[in-house]
Amino acid sequence: MNRPIVRLYGLVVLLFALLVAFTSRWTIFEASSLRSNPLNARGLLEQERIARGRILADDGTVLARSVRGGEGTYERRYPKGEEFAHPIGYSYTDLSQSGLERFRNAALNGQTGTNLQTILDQLQGKRPRGDEVLTTLDPKAQQTAITALGEHQGAVVALDPRDGAVKVMVSTPSFDPNKLPERGAYEQLTKDTRGRPLVNRAIQFGYAPGSTFKVVTATAAIDTGQFTSQSTLSGRNDVLVSGVPLGNDDDESYGQISLTEALAKSVNTVWAQVAEKLGKQTMARYMTRFGFDRKPELDYPAEEMSSSGEYFREKILPPTSPRVDVGRMGIGQDKLAVVPLQMAEVAAAVANHGRLMAPHMTERIVDPDGRTVQQISPRVQSVVMKPSTATAVTSMMEAVVNEGTGTEAQIPGVQVAGKTGTAETQIGTAINNVWFIAFAPASNPRVAIAVTLQGVPGQGASFAAPVARQVMERLLHG
């Protein structure tokens, strides 16, 4: 064979190899990135022809399903309407996706297999079908939370502290995802800047947590060994904190008072002194363990969640920043903005003997043939404190409910451990953002909860604690 023919043959082989390589790149190796490219309209059109998998509650209640429309396409339906709009989200070709619909999109569209398998299925004429996503959400408790919040703007998050399962995630006001495809519906919701129904208040933006944050300060105080639950400090009013007088609720003044009593009565000046003595480095260390200063480790789109912590000019500050007033931060004031999920995690870490489990809404993913293709296993996010510290803080939180500011959360026959919180929103008025965090039963916790209501004429004890009690009762007693 002469040399020119050999060269020509080699060139043909090389070109063929390049063709195979580039074809494989887009059809197999990089198909996922091509599908997810927002400029690729073909993927969106293909999704309309996929029988997207259902999303189910923990009792089998259907939260999202696809129905066959015209010309072989499918449309998404949400049988529970507003009830699960924020955790489940929506999926529409014209509006994109949100919530769990977005996070579990690959599974719901049946794209969890290899790209090569997808090609083989197409060659065999198999119609694409999505996997089902089974969640940890409890429909009865979800409805209880919605009813308890009523017309208030607010949020409720309830977890199983033993494994991090999200049992309740409610944000009010809500919206009906079934109506989003209607002309002008989505735009109308975005223009509602007062109610902001598209905002998931459970995990977005955040609010000053008020005195519920004292549980974080108490944990740091006891776990470091610098204090015990019976350590005493002066509870007098108008103690100087960062050179500025700090007042107690109703300007009440106390003498020497134990940390347990100071938590039960929510004495600001005591906990501000504790935070100052612990210092910024120590407070920062425990906040990090609890999950502050970063987004929650939840199976939910990161772009739709907010970090909890100190903020300045819309940017998060490290607790060690010179701009941070550690005393006021230690009582849930200063520049703190915290999402309810984060405060539910604070309660859950204490409840679970100091081990914080990563929160999750997905229990398992099941393929169209009924086989479990993914089981979500409990995962320890961090070890926040020693078990002995958790026991001590639990006793302190029990005192809050038994004889302190949280008596409205008492459940007959069940010991509740909790903490109230009130953050002023309008100086000189009684309009506040109010909180309550808790777990129960205190000796063997099965539920940890955070409740917040915005702009109410009162305190956390009167507004948030009763909501928490009703949801905990539903989760504990069914």
Write out the E strands in 81-188.
91-92, 96-97, 132-135, 153-160, 165-172
Active-site residue identified among 91, 171, 211, 306:
211
Could you count the other beta carbons within 10 Å of the beta carbon of residue 252? Answer: 14
Q: Which helix (H) or strand (E) holds 196?
A: none
How deeply is 478 buried, as exposed, middle or buried, from its count of CB atoms within 10 A (0-12, 13-18, 19+)?
exposed
Using the 8-state DSSP alphabet, how is residue 68 labeled? E
Q: Strands 132-135, 55-56: parallel, antiparallel or unpaired by DSSP?
A: parallel
Q: From CA 324, how far away is CA 374, in angstroms rounded?
A: 43
Q: What residues form DSSP beta bridges with 435?
A: 421, 452
Instruction: State residue 368 phi and psi, 5-degree precision.
Output: -60, -20
Q: Residue 312 in 3-state DSSP?
A: strand
- DSSP string covering 419-457: EEEEEESSTTSSEEEEEEEEEESTTS--EEEEEEEEEEE
377 an active-site residue?
Answer: no
Listed residue (415, 460, 397) closest to 152, CA to CA? 460
Q: From CA 212, how far away is CA 220, in angstroms rounded?
A: 14
Is residue 41 a contact partner of residue 86, using CB atoms and an 8 Å limit?
no
Could you count the other beta carbons within 10 Å of the beta carbon of residue 444? Answer: 9
Q: Report CA torsion sign: 301, 307, 308, 311.
A: negative
Listed residue (353, 355, 431) closest to 393, CA to CA? 353
Q: From CA 425, how far away is CA 433, in angstroms rounded?
A: 6
- 417-437 in b/e form (b: 16+ CB < 10 A) is bbbbbbbeeeeeeeebbbbbb
Peptide bond into 441 cis (omega under 30): yes
Using the 8-state DSSP alphabet, how is residue 207 labeled? B
Peptide bond into 445 cis (omega under 30): no
Residues constituting the chain: 478
Q: From CA 60, how far away is CA 233, in angstroms rounded?
A: 52
Which residues does the annotation mark as catalytic? 211
